[in-house]
Structure 1
Amino acid sequence: MATPGTEYPLHIVDAFTKVPFEGNPAAVCLLQNDTDIKDETKSKIASEMNLSETAFVSCATPDTNFSRADKFILRWFTPTVEVDLCGHATLATAWVIFHTTNNQHRELKFETRSGTLSAMRKGDSVSLDFPRFPPRPLNADERRLLQPVIDICCGSVGDDSVLEVSLSPDTYKLLIRLKDDVNVSQLKECIVFPDHLLAQDTGGLIKGVILTLKGSAENGAVDREGTPYDFVSRYFAPWQGIAEDPVTGSSHTVLAPYWSEVLHKNMLYARQCSKRGGDLLLTLHPNNRIEIAGHARIVMSGKLML
């Protein structure tokens, strides 16, 4: 348990980008033991950071340290709740361990609410091994209940812009695919008011909404070098205290299996086109797992003083 005056290393990392101030920022706090800070205090720290997630990572065994260990306990807190899975903060955590602690392991294991996750060095990037959670079509009752949410998310691109709607019951994420003739600029300009979403009775079916669109050069879904993305997306989760998440690893555990089936591809290049934006390389493996690879930049390092 922390005593007054205790200090802990704290880093702010932009994940899924090579460029500072893009991608998705996460705070990463290094603890020797998870019990060093009470959960109530973790929640207050996450609120103080006011980022979509703050990660708290500790060594899985107390007789080692961050430079020698390859097994860790990892937890993620939004400004309001603890969450079961967070991709960008996992990438940020692995990046911090690999780049600031002199840890020479090729692979790190994280024990989390979603089971054991691994992070591996992959050239100059980090690759995450995550479960995948394919969505299924809505039934009639779910469609009727969630139609107001669909209307709120797609109102600015028109009611006839929706091609398909599905639900990932494992992650409580609603996936809304827009028609192929919608362009990336229209997706970026969609205005989604979080208060309007929170006011809807969703029956507890969803905790987040994904808007997604097939990528092509014709609709403007290309990177800085002109390479087309396979798909692009945005993600909204006001039910978890996140109005819009800049880049979301966990949403791609739903998106990747969906688009893999649509495009008949097991390797996908994706863009989350929030204002900050970020790129993800996705590989689907036959063991019902997904590899999510990306870069990160540490933009601030300091100490948390309690």
Structure 2
Amino acid sequence: MLKMYQVDAFSQELFKGNSAAVIILNEWLDESLMQNIALENNLSETAFLKASTDESYHIRWFTPTDEIAFCGHATLASAFILFENNPALKNLRFTTNEMGDFYIQQDTDGLIVMEFPVRQPTVLEEIPQGLVEALGTPFKTLYVNDQAYVVEYEHAEQVLELQPDFLHLKSICLNAKVNDGKTKDVVITAPSDQAEYDFISRYFAPAIGVNEDPVTGSIHTALAPFWSQRFNKPELIAYQASTRGGVLYCKQLSAQRMQVAGYAKLYMVAEIFV
């Protein structure tokens, strides 16, 4: 029997933000079992943690179909649970398989601040065949980083109204693996038309079983540096404009490191029998 938490991340309200499951382990489970738990949960991600010390944990993330290298909202959800379970805890370190160490703290108002490596996107001159048709709306410029194609639009309205052909988009994302050994997701972004936010985005990951991710903390390590340069502002507030929606507070620390911060809300505590 395992204890599992479900948390709505990047939101102060239930039923908003992005839901993640969090399971804290004494010892790692078999990978196939962790993958099956994530499939059964059918959330964007399920996070598994194993303690090294009271303040240091190894973290791994699984979508319903794959283990992934980096997930921001499930990291936030995991930190939220650890802080809730130990009110004396002020700082955390998460060790990852591919992304190095993350450093996390919680402010007095509950805001959880996560320090991540920057993953700046670069211009992609050759547009993948069929991408414009799959998105359905011509875009301004295309960029790419290790995680995703970053599609820049001129206006927020274009981002809000876009309706992708997910089957077509999935084939494009899978085909990226032929070129660089990794599938790619797709994020679309534009300046916000609302005064309280600097930029908005939507995120599509059909190749790993998630057509539209509600809120994607990891991709803001590309989006926030990109818009920070455009606006000449080190601190930005982002809104991910999915059906659920989520707010991310971003701050550039250096060319290599940045902060992504947000709130979280506990939805459920459960026991699973495996």
Opposite residue 188 of structure 1, the aligned amino acid is: L
How far off its partner does 1:274 sit?
Answer: 0.3
Secondary structure of residue in 2 paired with 1:254: helix
How far off its partner does 1:94 sit?
Answer: 0.3
Please give the root-mean-square deviation of Cα atoms over the aligned residues, in Å: 1.5
How far off its partner does 1:54 sit?
Answer: 0.1
Give the corresponding residue for 2:59.
74
How far off its partner does 1:147 sit?
Answer: 4.1
Gaps of 5+ in 2: none
Give the corresponding residue for 1:52.
44
Secondary structure of residue in 2 paired with 1:152: helix
Alignment partners' CA distance in 2, 1:102 and 1:291 = 23
TM score, norm. by length of structure 1:
0.84
- Any idea what the Cα deviations from partners look like across 1:42-70, whole Å, max 9, x if unmatched? 00000000001000011115xxxxxxx00
How far off its partner does 1:176 sit?
Answer: 0.7
Alignment partners' CA distance in 2, 1:302 and 1:257 = 38
Give the corresponding residue for 2:202.
234
How far off its partner does 1:199 sit?
Answer: 2.6
For the 8 Å contact 2:118–2:255, the answer to whether it is kept is no
Give the corresponding residue for 1:43.
35
**Percent identity of paired positions between Structure 1 and Structure 2:** 36
Residue pairs, 1:79-228, within 5 angstroms: 79-99=64-84, 101-113=85-97, 114-123=99-108, 124-139=110-125, 142-143=126-127, 146-153=128-135, 155=136, 158-159=137-138, 162-168=139-145, 171-179=146-154, 182-184=155-157, 186-200=158-172, 201-202=175-176, 203-204=178-179, 206-216=183-193, 222=194, 227-228=195-196
Gaps of 5+ in 1: 1-6, 62-68, 217-221
Runs of 4+ residues over 6 Å off in structure 1: none
- Any idea what the Cα deviations from partners look like across 1:248-285, whole Å, max 9, x if unmatched? 01110110111111111110000000000000000001
Give the corresponding residue for 1:298.
266
How far off its partner does 1:165 sit?
Answer: 1.1
Alignment partners' CA distance in 2, 1:266 and 1:288 = 13
For the 8 Å contact 1:207–1:240, the answer to whether it is kept is no
Question: How many residues are matched?
Answer: 267
